[in-house]
Structure 1
Amino acid sequence: MIDKADLRKNAKIKRKEARDNDGGMAARLIASKIIMMEELDEVKTVAGYVPIQDELDLMVTLKALHTARFPIALPGIVGDDKPLEFRSWDMRSELKDGPFGTKESAEDVVTPEVILVPLLAFDENGGRLGYGGGFYDRTLSKLRAENADLIAVGIAYEGQKIDQVPMDDYDQRLDMIVTEKEFYRV
């Protein structure tokens, strides 16, 4: 079995290299793909994130969705071993500092129908390697139990793709992954 800790270490290096060589174009290309998703033909609440570390900048996508009148939400950490809580965000309200360098909204709690998910590595089968805290796995499991139509979309640089992400029983697969070069449907 592949050691996830080693995989995370290597994935962080690859993601940083992809970001350093990007010049900001990946964020624009991904935004154009997401705004055209057929799954967004009906207005749905879309949860995104404010990027930390070397995560792909999702702010271009969130601005495009907001301009198109999609309700936007951001995740918040409410405790260890708990699912994330999503709060609406009007893109004007000030964000508060959260754990791990995250930014969180203080607005109303909402339930998203589409979640744009950061990651360290992915595979074509929807496997996702995160930071190891399990927050998105717990969240996707909970929300999928409440809404079978929930859509989880991984956001990544193409350089973050690997042959196979090792998956445990509790790991949640993504429904789609969007990179600057490809749109993967699982």
Structure 2
Amino acid sequence: MELDLKERKAAIRRDALARRDAMAEAERIEASLVVCDRVAAAVSASPAVVSGFLPIRSEIDIRPLMMSFADRRARLCVPAIVAGELQFRELVRGAPLEPQGFGTYAPGVEAAILDAELMLVPLAAFDRRRGRVGYGRGYYDRAIAALRAKGMSPLLIGVAFACQEVDAVPMDAHDVPLDMIATEAEIIAR
């Protein structure tokens, strides 16, 4: 049963990422900016700590959105991979970044480790129930579970291109539905 679920998620991931990769670069840039504007307008609160991510390959670029939260006085952090888990390190202008594997970068070990009140979550595919298929290693599911174990309940916003939507994401017991998914076409919220 579990293998079937993994195989289904792998097929969904492969197909959705192929659609994302097929987008023209100019289309991805414009769509990224629209998503950033949508989320900035939809989140009226000013969270103290926001986790984002630095884009890889054809992934959505949310750096303008992260800066809009910084303009609201939020501290920013991005994930670093430490012993197979995510550690959210503070992103400070001018601080050096180190390669993390998979084409990602993060601040070094000297950076503060932060717990986010709002998480901007990357994804490979999503559905209307706010289900998410990630990149297949469960990093974000475990990171969210760790925050919840500390008694925190971060606002979880998935950010993606509309072409990454699928009919249904198969959900396992550890899969966490997102509070909101933002694309260039719309916001899907509970």
Counterpart position of 2:93: 91
* Aligned equivalents of 1:43, 1:121: Cα separation in 2: 26
Asked whether the equivalents of residues 88 and 108 of structure 1 are also in contact (C-alpha less than 8 Å), the reply is yes
* C-alpha contact 2:28 2:60 (8 A) present in aligned 1: no
Residues 175 and 185 in structure 1, CA contact (< 8 A), matched pair in contact too: yes
Counterpart mapping for 1:23-62 below 5 A: 23-38=28-43, 40-62=44-66
- The reply on whether 1:179 has 2:180 as its aligned counterpart is no
The alignment's TM-score, normalised by the length of structure 2, stands at 0.88
Matching of residue 75 in structure 1 with residue 79 in structure 2: yes
For the Cα contact (< 8 Å) 1:119–1:129, is it kept in 2? yes
Ranges in structure 1 where 5+ consecutive residues have no aligned partner = none
Report the number of matched residues. 183
Q: Could you say which residue in structure 1 is the equivalent of 2:18?
A: 13
Q: Which residue of 2 aligns with 1:167?
A: 171
Aligned 8 A contact 2:32 2:61 in 1? yes
The 3-state SS of whatever aligns with 1:166 is coil
Deviation at residue 23 of structure 1 after TM alignment: 5.0
Report the identity percentage: 32
The list of structure 1 runs, each at least 4 consecutive aligned residues, that deviate by more than 6 angstroms after superposition, is none
- The structure that is strand-richer by fraction is 2
**Shift in Å at residue 148 of structure 1?**
4.5
Q: 1:43 to 1:150 in 2, by over 3 A?
A: closer
Give structure 2 stretches of 5+ with no counterpart: none
Whole-Å Cα distance in 2 between the matches of residues 117 and 86 of structure 1? 12
Q: How much has 1:19 moved relative to structure 2? A: 5.2
SS in 2 for 1:13: helix
Q: What TM-score does the superposition give when structure 1 sets the normalisation length?
A: 0.90
